[in-house]
Structure 1
Amino acid sequence: MNHGHPADFRALMAGFPTGVTIVTTTGTEGDPWGMTLTSLCSVSMEPPVLLVCMRRGSPTLDAALARRSFAVNLLHRRARSTAELFASGAPDRFDRVTWHAPAGTGGPHLLEAAHTVADCAVTTDQVVGDHVVIMGRVTRVTRLAEEQHPLLYGLRRFATWPDTDDQLSYDFIS
């Protein structure tokens, strides 16, 4: 049986386009942390639960686990530069974006890059290989922008939802 080569697995996942998010949280000293990721999944509607996966050793992961909360910032199509900034690991990334973290939020809200933010309380975390799977119960959803077009990533590039008037609407929540 062929278990696949890491390059084959990368190609497999590159062919699965998905939305782009930045997960944020704050450290024990109140310092902001955040990273770009595409591994976001809806787990349950009742109660509302999201699943995110973060690389082991990530300071954002460590802070989210210590604080037991995080925010998922869903990026809109004009936020590619912010996605790239937070993927770079630049230490000054929060100095280069507009954000705020009101009391009771899971982490900083990226005011100019996100169209919607879900604040989450960590309910479960489990190490799987080189990542940690985190389940977060959604405690609040905040709409930040009227922009309806999400930033997408697939085939190793960013894209946006096409503009069209003949859209069909489906609810695919399993």
Structure 2
Amino acid sequence: MVPETPSAAEVVSLDVFRSLMSEFPTGVAVVTSLDHDGEPRGMTCSALCSVTGIPPTLLVCLRRESSTLNAVIRCGRFAVNFLHADAQHVAELFGSPAKTKRFDLVDWSMGRCGPHIAEHAHAIADCRVASTGDCGSHVVVFGEVSDVTLHRGRVPLLYGRRRYNVWLEQAARQTALCPRDASPSD
């Protein structure tokens, strides 16, 4: 049996939905690509996740009206720069609606599929656009990962409860030594 589509009265408000999602901490990344003139484009993204390991695929959700989405679709390739704990200023820079030349304010180099901001990343995934999906104000972009760069020893930047935070290494070590009984899929 297929559930009915909820009416507008059955859908929570945007504020309530944002409050819900703020309770789910996530990593912070900057998605980058090149526009039709070869200029770098990028935006902060916390709506991303792995999809499957075979083929290695992740998804990112990008605002429909963003120049970064246009560049990703046109180019067919993009990079996901997973930011480290000392890169909050980069997350804010690429998350700002200001029309500044963001790439003039950070060191970057061209990676296999898009600009790398390696100085500010603990990991980078180079991706080829496999498919896209329409989802209201955003477009879901599925990317097959063709290359990975890891910078071991850097702590990930996190975002939750409407603020930035960092991975607590001590808590991570304790969890590894004494795992909980229940797994996330339970």
Say yes or no: TM over 0.5. Answer: yes
Tell me which residue corresponds to 1:73. Answer: 81
> 1:38-81: per-residue Cα shift (whole Å, max 9, x none)?
01110010110001000111000000000011000011101001
* Structure 2 unmatched ranges of 5 or more: 1-8
Q: What SS does the aligned partner of 1:124 have?
A: strand
The percentage of aligned residue pairs carrying the same residue is 45
Matches of 1:121 and 1:172, distance apart in 2: 29
Q: How far off is 1:126 after superposition? A: 1.5
Question: Matched residues in 2 for 1:161 and 1:53: separation?
Answer: 23
Cα offsets for 1:127-152 (capped at 9, x unmatched): 11110001000010012x33331000
Q: State the alpha-carbon separation in 2 of the partners of residues 112 and 8 from structure 1.
A: 36
Gaps of 5+ in 1: none
TM-aligned CA deviation for residue 2 of structure 1: 3.1
User: Normalization by structure 2: what TM-score?
Assistant: 0.86
Contact preservation (8 Å) 1:74, 1:115:
yes
Which TM-score applies when normalising by structure 1? 0.91
1:116 and 2:114 aligned: no
More helix per residue: 2
- How far 1:172 sits from its partner (Å)? 7.1
The structure with more radius of gyration? 2
Partner of 1:93: 102
The RMSD of aligned alpha carbons is 1.8
User: Could you list the runs of 4 or more consecutive aligned residues of structure 1 that deviate by over 6 angstroms after TM superposition?
Assistant: 169-173
Q: Distance in 2 between matches of 1:28 and 1:162?
A: 41
8 A Cα contact 1:35 1:89, kept in partner: no
